[in-house]
Each structure stands twice: as C-alpha cells, then as structure tokens.
C-alpha cells in the first residue's frame, strides 16, 4: 500500500549539499573577514543553502588540507603574507 501524506503533497528527500553547512560551526573562513557584509555574501551563497558547491567543504570531505585563504568559489583570497603568518600561528 502506498502512503500519501494527508496534505496530498509528495514529500521530498533532502538534496545532498543543500541546506545549512555541517562545517559552519568551525569553518576558518569566518575568521578571514572583518566585514560582516562581505562574509554574509559568502554565507548566503554557500553556507546557508548550497554547501555542496563550496570548494572548502569539498576539499574537507576528501580529507585534503583546506588552505585558510581558499574561498568557497575555489579562488584564493589574496592576503598579505605577514597577516597570514599571524593568522595561522
Ligand atoms: S565556507 Fe564552505 S565549508 Fe565553510 S561553512 Fe561555508 S559552506 Fe561550509
């Protein structure tokens, strides 16, 4: 017998990589930005609903090293070398 929800609508299985990122509580990318506005752009485009598209997330899932300056779109954030040494010390 087929079960149909009372509302008559079909339930959907969650789409892998959609929804809130499971790494968001400890993601180092959040420490990169002093501007909340810029950080929020990344959060809205990746962390909150499309983490499966994030280069940081995908690298972490393969067990690869995730550089601090790797952005979700796969590009590297260009930062001052001295700042980077301090941030990773
Ligand atoms: S930057 Fe990527 S890995 Fe980090 S919380 Fe956002 S989606 Fe997840």
Distance 80 CA to ligand 1 centre (A): 22
**Which tokens in the block code for residue 83?**
């700042």
CA distance 89 to 85: 6
Question: Tens of pLDDT along 32-84?
Answer: 888 999 999 999 999 999 999 999 999 999 999 999 999 999 999 988 888 77
Domain membership of residue 43 (yes or no) is: yes
Provide the domain limits for residue 55.
16-64
Q: What is the domain count for the chain? A: 1
Indicate which residue's Cα is closest to atom 5 of ligand 1: 24
pLDDT at 6 > cutoff 60: no
Domain membership of residue 10 (yes or no) is: no
Give the pLDDT band of residue 89 (cuts 50, 70, 90).
confident
Domain membership of residue 76 (yes or no) is: no
Mutate to test the pocket of ligand 1, among 72, 73, 74, 77 (most ligand atoms within 8 A of CB): 72
Domain membership of residue 56 (yes or no) is: yes
Domain membership of residue 41 (yes or no) is: yes
Mutate to test the pocket of ligand 1, among 56, 65, 66 (most ligand atoms within 8 A of CB): 56
Identify the helix (H) or strand (E) that includes residue 6.
none
In this prediction the pTM is 0.80
Domain membership of residue 9 (yes or no) is: no
Domain membership of residue 77 (yes or no) is: no
Question: Tens of pLDDT along 72-84?
Answer: 999 999 888 887 7
């Amino acid at each position: 017998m087929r079960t149909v929800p009372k509302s008559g609508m079909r339930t959907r299985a969650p789409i892998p990589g959609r929804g809130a990122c499971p790494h968001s509580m400890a993601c180092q990318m959040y420490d990169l930005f002093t501007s909340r506005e810029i950080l929020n752009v990344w959060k809205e485009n990746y962390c909150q609903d499309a983490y499966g598209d994030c280069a940081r997330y995908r690298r972490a899932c393969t067990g690869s090293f995730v550089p601090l300056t790797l952005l979700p779109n796969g590009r590297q954030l260009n930062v001052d070398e001295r700042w980077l040494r301090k941030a990773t010390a």
